[in-house]
Chains A and B, each alone.
Chain A
Amino acid sequence: MSVTMANQPRLITLDDDYDAINAYFYEQGWTDGLPIVPPTEERVAAMIAGSGLEATDVVAVLEPRKGLATVEKIAACAVMAGCRPEYMPVLIAGVRAVAEPQFNLYGVLTSTHNASVLLLVNGPIRERLQINDGRLKHPNQWHATTTIGRAFQLIMQNIAGIPGSTQSETQGHIGRYHHIIAENEVHSPWQPLHVDQGFAPGDSTVTVFGACPPQHIDNMGSTDAQGVLMSICDSMATAGNRNTQGEGYPLLLLGPQHASTIAKDGFSKADVQRYLFEHARLPLSRVPKGDLVSMSQKWRKFYCSHNEDARLPIADRPEDIYVVVMGGTGTHSMFVQTQLGSRPVTKKIEERS
């Protein structure tokens, strides 16, 4: 069996006993507690073939361990999580994205913040692989979502991090087990995120966020844009939201019904971003005096020395607020506060095989 968790891949030989292999991997700290598919040489080779790359190709060097994310090691994690070979390009793009310095993977993986890398998939691949954009309700439709999400976190744990030690988040975060969504491009009134970022509609992309657990936002009664947006603004601009403390990149996951209500009143996506920037604001008087030390230097300069009526925005600029349509039926949306010092990154998914 080829085991590729250490910086230098190594081959270990174990008895052909599923339970014993799982116990061994668990004891080594290589799993997430659930049973894994043993990454045999044959399975890893098939997974590598799905990437269209060579086993020894280095996709990125990942912080904080400075782990060499070779195709072979990524493939081993993919096998363990139960992926199919055609899922590999999503994982490769995600690894390339988190390795960009502006994402600050070091901070996301070592901070006490309850944050985890969230993958957001756009473009045709999400439909082809059936990655959940909110429309998939039946468990038998969740194969790609479950296994890619799990594989990526195994990559974070085993290649980027150090099992059991570099994950310091205060309460833990279910997203450290599995964290992937897709945009519901079919039911969005606007162009999808990757097209906003300059990619072609036919491209597929992964965008990574240093994402905290989402907050449910309910508004069942409003029939106009301002009504829905008022609930959203009030849910985002809170003293406990780190994104009110400086230059962050908050993520709003708008349910399609909320998006439709907003769009039919003539709001473009840029209008929604502008509206949130203007109105999702926290009065300075609501910030405990002692916590003013948490504000960024820029926020202190522009807001904290003015007067108690100053209103803190949730991002530096309207375009820094990410608006994505995600979900199925229902009058619900979600707000995801993100870790300060981590900028989202979008990478194209290259399908070579």
Chain B
Amino acid sequence: MFVSEAFVVPARLEAEALGLASLPIVVVPHPMADRSEAEIDAIAALALPEIAKLLTRDHDGRLEYPIDLDRFNRRLRG
């Protein structure tokens, strides 16, 4: 449901192995490890509504939902 972009292919294939080939996945930027707390907060703030949307209502059929990097950068700039 939620992976960084470097792990999209393994996540997709694991979803298929679990019989969930059409599982929608929210994709956040990679890497995570060297990001500041502010960056992580910004990613979470953008990803959470997407995840909630996919959990609570029908999605539009796409498999991957990357977060909006322009909004991410704007949010970081404050």
Asked if A66 and B7 make an inter-chain contact with CB atoms under 8 angstroms apart, the answer reads no
In whole angstroms, what is the CA distance A165 to B6 when docked? 11
Contacts of B78 in A (CB 8 A): none
Contacts of A66 in B (CB 8 A): 17-18
Asked if B18 and A168 make an inter-chain contact with CB atoms under 8 angstroms apart, the answer reads no
Is A270 an interface residue, CB under 8 A from the partner? no
Is B52 an interface residue, CB under 8 A from the partner? no
Contacts of A165 in B (CB 8 A): 9-10, 13
Contacts of B14 in A (CB 8 A): 64-65, 162, 166
In whole angstroms, what is the CA distance A187 to B56 when docked? 64
Q: Quick one: which of A137-157 are within 8 Å of B by CB?
A: none
> Which interface class (under 10, 10 to 19, 20 to 34, 35 or more) fits A?
10 to 19
Residues of B in contact with A (beta carbons under 8 Å apart): 6-7, 9-10, 13-14, 17-18
In whole angstroms, what is the CA distance A168 to B30 when docked? 13
Is A238 an interface residue, CB under 8 A from the partner? no
A selection of 11 A-B contacts at a CB cut-off of 8 Å is A7-B17, A65-B14, A65-B17, A110-B10, A162-B13, A162-B14, A165-B9, A166-B10, A166-B14, A168-B7, A168-B10
Contacts A110-B10, A165-B9 supplied; 18 other A-B pairs, CB < 8 Å: A64-B14, A64-B17, A65-B13, A65-B14, A65-B17, A66-B17, A67-B17, A110-B7, A162-B10, A162-B13, A162-B14, A162-B17, A165-B10, A165-B13, A166-B10, A168-B6, A168-B7, A168-B10
Asked if A166 and B13 make an inter-chain contact with CB atoms under 8 angstroms apart, the answer reads yes
* Shortest distance between the CB of B64 and any CB in chain A (Å): 15
In whole angstroms, what is the CA distance A162 to B10 when docked? 8
Contacts of B7 in A (CB 8 A): 110, 168
In whole angstroms, what is the CA distance A292 to B14 when docked? 32
**Which residue of chain A has its CB nearest to the CB of B7?**
A168
* Shortest distance between the CB of B16 and any CB in chain A (Å): 9
Contacts of A110 in B (CB 8 A): 7, 10
* Shortest distance between the CB of A245 and any CB in chain B (Å): 13
Q: Quick one: which of A51-66 are within 8 Å of B by CB?
A: 64-66
